[in-house]
Amino acid sequence: MNETFGMAGAAAALGIGMLIGLERERHKGQEENRACAGLRTYAITALLGYVAMQLGGNLLISIVAIILGVLFTVAYWRSVGDDPGVTSEVALLSVLILGGLCGAWPTLAIAIGVAIAGLLAYRQKLHYFARSQLTDAELGDGLILLTAALVVLPLAPDRFIGPYAAINLRTICTLTVLLMAVGAIGHIAVRTLGIRYGYPISAIASGFASSAVTIAAMGHLVARQPDDIKLLSAAAILSNMATVTQVGLILGAVDTGLLRHMWGPLIGGAVAAALYGLCLMLPKPTAGANQPIKVGGAFNLKLALIVTLAMTGITFVSSMMLSHFGQMGVMLTATISGFADAHSSTASIATLAKSGRLPFDAIVGPLLIAISSNSVSKCVVAWVSGGRRFAAYVIPGQVLLTLAMWAGMSLN
């Protein structure tokens, strides 16, 4: 065994044992309630696991784990009336295994050790979150998201099927999971930040579900809160940052190589929306600006499926148009579909590029056309929902964002 490698592995094992042991030492209690393991026990156990793996491999470390299990059982029986739990015992066994892992994969062992220490250190906060903060609906949404991401997505085949080779089940599943994950992240952000940051943060979060719906919600609030029209307009414009971000996420989810041709327009649009929104926010908001908008829960599975199916349908139509009319057909489809939703056009164009039917560098024009037509729809929504004053603030911001994205083509 290489001496330097051996010392590095032993040091990693000792570090893991001391890290987790320090956390357990702070919570081991006093006198009769004192836990059986602390800093020294965890450190020694980690080193024991490392040495056992080096000397006897899996067999020896298994024997040591069985001995520890017997000791745990005896300790648990002696204190079973006090309901001691088994967290410390499981942590000690984990330290033994991680110590053994340090011989082959010290980096992985350290990462797992840090994660375990974090879970132990934030015990009370995690318990409070699970019992008092997490609702049944959010728990159900989380289970659906994890099932889709960890079970359904890996099983989906990554190949193009159907007429015009336009359908890819892996891409469909990826986009569905992405929509759900983005909605959940926005929901968590609002739950975590509360109402302190008011409409702008809420609008960005809800913009991931639908920027047009968010603009309409802001416009409807203008009638009740006319004094906050600038703040509401800022929130409406800032919701476009979610649109720009989601376009980038969709491109990256389909093929990361597509981002090389769109990073300039995406950065230009995000910067323009942020600067314009911040300029509108410069006056101090009124007290009524502290209530977040309500656009939905963690995520809407039905909406995610509908949007994904719409993306798939538009992909099929775009593929058919490309087959019969070339790239001009794709641009025409992007223009029409963009009035309703820029994300669907983004997904369809990205899928065509991934399938090899459209060059990667040819996606920029159709995507910007789709985003431009979607911006026109948002201007109409702003005028209808909030009236002329609201539209007078929102429309210039939409125009600036669109022009910035077209100008961003020069950065690529």
249: which 2 tokens?
């996420």
Check: CB of residue 299 under 8 Å from CB of residue 145.
Answer: yes
What are the tokens at 236?
């409406």
Beta carbons within 8 Å of 93's beta carbon, 6+ residues apart? 65, 68, 69, 72
Instruction: Return the structure tokens found at 366.
Output: 């159709």
- pLDDT at 351 (0 to 100): 76
Helix (H, G, I), strand (E, B) or coil at 167: strand
| Rounded-to-5 percentages of helix, strand, coil across the chain | 85, 0, 15
Class of residue 36 by CB neighbours under 10 A (exposed 0-12, middle 13-18, buried 19+): middle
Question: How far is CA 189 from its chain centroid?
Answer: 11
Q: What averages of pLDDT result for each successive group of 10 residues across the chain (412 residues)?
A: 64 89 73 63 88 86 84 67 65 88 88 88 75 70 80 78 69 72 62 58 73 76 79 87 85 81 88 91 55 51 63 62 58 57 69 75 79 82 85 93 88 68
What pLDDT does 85 receive? 59
Cα distances from 191 to residues 30, 119, 134, 217, 221, in angstroms, run 38, 21, 10, 19, 21
Q: Output the pLDDT for position 301.
A: 67
Q: Residue 368: CB partners within 8 Å, gap ≥ 6?
A: 265, 405, 406, 409
Report pLDDT for 288: 46
Helices 211-224 & 364-407, crossing angle to 10 degrees?
Answer: 50
Residue 45 burial (CB count, 10 A): 27
Q: What is the pLDDT of residue 93?
A: 87
SS3 string of 248-285? HHHHHHHCHHHHHHCHHHHHHHHHHHHHHHHHHHCCCC
pLDDT of residue 272: 93
153 Cβ neighbours under 8 A, 6+ residues apart: 170, 173, 174, 177
Quote the pLDDT of residue 354. Answer: 78
334 is written with which tokens? 């992007």
CA distance 112 to 379: 50
Task: Answer for the pair 39, 18: CB distance below 8 angstroms, yes or no.
Answer: yes
CA 404/CA 5 separation, integer angstroms = 53
* Contact assessment for residue 378 and residue 212, using Cβ atoms and an 8 Å cutoff: yes
Residues with Cβ within 8 Å of residue 346, at least 6 apart in sequence: 247, 250, 251, 367, 370
Token representation of residue 48 = 């024991």
Contact 32, 99 (CB under 8 A): no
Q: Which residues contact 387 (CB under 8 A, 6 or more apart)?
A: 219, 222, 223
Taking the alpha carbons at both ends of the chain, their separation in whole angstroms is 51
